[in-house]
Structure formats: C-alpha cells, structure tokens
Structure 1
Amino acid sequence: MSFGACLTSILSACDLPLPKKASQPKAVVKVKPRLIVRPAVIEIITHDKAHFDYDGLFDIGKSVDGDIDDIRQWKNHFTIYLHIPNPESVLKEIKKSYPQDSIKYYEKPFYAFNRKMCADTIRAKQWENIVMTANLVNDPKLQQEYLNYHATQFKNWPEVAKGFCNANFQQLLVFKNGRQLMLVISIPKGETLDKLNPKTTENNPRVNEWNRLMKKYQEGIPGTKLGEVWVGFKPVHTN
C-alpha cells in the first residue's frame, strides 16, 4: 500500500514508518601518542676547563622528563648519555648555556646490541653505563670498511655478540660524529667492565680475531697518550 492510500482513510490499518531518532554523537577518545625514547650522546668540549660550570648540566638534566645518566668527564670533554623522547631539547639548552664551548651531538647509534640477541634474554633491573670514545683513522676508505664490518657483524661474526652475551652486557651502542666514535656499554649495576670484559673472549677466539682486525681502523682522539685508543669518561658528581 502506498503512502498516499494511507491518507485517504483515518481508519486505515496502514502503519507509517516512525521517524528515526537523531543519532547521538560518539564520544571521541583522544589517545595520547606513545613517546618513543631514543638514545643519544651530547659531548661538550670546554675551552676553559677551570671555569666550566658542569652543575649547569645537572640543572638542564633535571628539567627534562626522561632518563638522563650522570655527567661524565675525560680531561676537558664532558658527556651526557640521554635516553629520552626528545634529545634535541637538551641539545638546544646546552648550546644556549655554553655558547663558548664546542658541542657535538651523537644522534643515533649505527650499531646496537641488546639481550634479545642472547639465549638468556633476561635483563638486569638496574644498569650502569660505561662511556668511551676513540677516533676512526683519517682515511675515508678505511672508515667505510669499519662501518661495513659492523653492518654485517651479527651475520658474519656472530661470535662477537655471543661474547657480549657471555659477559652479561645488557646493551652496547656505538655512535659516530665525523670520525669520532662514542661507545656506551651497559652492564648490571654493581658489576665492573674490568671483571666482565674478559668473558667476551673466553673460549671464543673469533672475538680476539675481531679485536685485532678493528685495531687498524681506530686511533686515540687528540689528548690521548701515544698508543692509547679508547679512553673512558668518569662520572662527575654535582657540588
């Protein structure tokens, strides 16, 4: 029966369709984006070590929402190892606070090892970070060879990662700025690198071979002793 036929008789048993209720707007739930923390290293090379205010670095660190390791020093070089969503915010503040000093930013590791690569994937609850630096030799061809070796290390030299697992390294990152390398080794809190590092080569001769091979690509940064290559940064404590 048509709609017109329904109008011809009030007594008609025709049922008219009920008007649709206006749909209620759905509540929009805003999901806060999950911020991804990124590892990075900032190095400050001060030109007046005697008057360098490293307490200011701690103040900058406290103003950032994230995990900032303690400040470290080797001679007139100071480093901050960052593990926060926006390391550039700290970099900006440091450049503003120390305009007279040289600032180097190690933005992203080109090599990264972690416990997921081990048979035992359990990680220590608390870590200590060891920060070291060295230079690549001043030869672009050899520098590229070094990077190529690290890009294929997990496939072609799996014994190296196995050595890190045996030594209970939690994480190992290598950064590069120009030809300067920055190495961050994370070990369980309370342990020492002197104790753990020998385990990387224990019953693992390929690691010794790797270490010998890498020697030709690395040299000490300016200020190191003759024959000295990797130098470590010591923790600095606030006054």
Structure 2
Amino acid sequence: MRNYILALDLKEDIHLIHEYDEWHRNVWPEILKSIKDSGILKMEIFRFYNRLCMVMETIDEFSFEHKGKMDVENEKVQEWEKLMWTFQQKIPGSKPKEKWVLMHSIFEFKSN
C-alpha cells in the first residue's frame, strides 16, 4: 500500500464552503465507484476554513496518470469535477490547471 497527501483551497466564501461540505456528505455513487476502480482503498478529506487536505491510501500499482485517464473518460466524474470547481480555487504555488497538489513529507517520527 502507498499513501498520498494532497492539498487544495476552497474559495473564501463561508456559504460556498458549507455547500462544499454538504456535497461531500452525499458524494454520488458513480464518483465513489471511480475512486475504488482507480485503486484507491481509502480516502479522507480534512478541512480548516478554506484549506483542504486529502489523505489517500492506494494499492501499490496506483498512478495519478491512470486515474487521470479514467476520469477524462468518465462523464459523471467530469460533471462532478466541473461542479466542484465552482467551490475550489488554485492553491498558491500550483501549476496552471492543477487542482489537488501532491504534498511531500518533510518530517516523520516513529516510536520504538
């Protein structure tokens, strides 16, 4: 298994932020299926005000490139992504058209 952490910002509008939360309490079944089919075993999204952090646990063979291809070919995923983009904004330092940004580990502690 592999773990990934990604970040994204929401628009700074408390009403949009609450609406975004509501959409994620009722994620479409087709979206959940696409997540599972791409090799994601577990996904959580955390929010502080407008900053999001996504934690993903995947199969070893998971790749963002493969998931991206699957997403482009899935009309329901494209519809969901278009809807979600009405709430989201680029995070500072992201590339053009980049939404979720992969975070890199800079510290790890493990006790014996």
1: CA distance, partners of 2:95 / 2:70: 27
Give the residue type in structure 2 aligned to 1:131.
I
* 1:218 aligned residue: 88
* 1:162 aligned residue: 33
Which digits, 9 at most, give the CA deviation of each residue in 1:139-177, with x for residues without a partner?
Answer: 111111111111112xxx111011112212111110011
Unaligned 5+ segments in structure 2 are none
**How far off is 1:178 after superposition?**
1.7
**How far off is 1:224 after superposition?**
3.4
**Mapping for residues 42-121 of structure 1, pairs under 5 Å:** none
Distance 1:143 1:195, change over 3 A: same
Unaligned 5+ segments in structure 1 are 1-126
Counterpart of 1:181 (choices 46, 49, 52) is 52
* 1:192 aligned residue: 63
Distance 1:171 1:198, change over 3 A: farther
The TM-score normalised by the length of structure 1 is 0.41
Distance 1:134 1:151, change over 3 A: same
The TM-score normalised by the length of structure 2 is 0.80
2: CA distance, partners of 1:129 / 1:217: 26
Secondary structure of the residue aligned to 1:141 is helix
- The structure with more helix, counted as a fraction of residues: 2
Give the residue type in structure 2 aligned to 1:232.
L
Which digits, 9 at most, give the CA deviation of each residue in 1:81-115, with x for residues without a partner?
Answer: xxxxxxxxxxxxxxxxxxxxxxxxxxxxxxxxxxx
Structure 1 contact 164–200 (Cα < 8 Å) conserved: no
RMSD between superposed Cα atoms in Å: 2.3
2: CA distance, partners of 1:149 / 1:133: 18
Distance 1:201 1:167, change over 3 A: farther
Give the residue type in structure 2 aligned to 1:143.
I
* 1:133 aligned residue: 7
Which digits, 9 at most, give the CA deviation of each residue in 1:26-80, with x for residues without a partner?
Answer: xxxxxxxxxxxxxxxxxxxxxxxxxxxxxxxxxxxxxxxxxxxxxxxxxxxxxxx
Give the residue type in structure 2 aligned to 1:209.
E
Structure 1 contact 221–229 (Cα < 8 Å) conserved: yes
Structure ID, larger Rg: 1
* 1:45 aligned residue: none
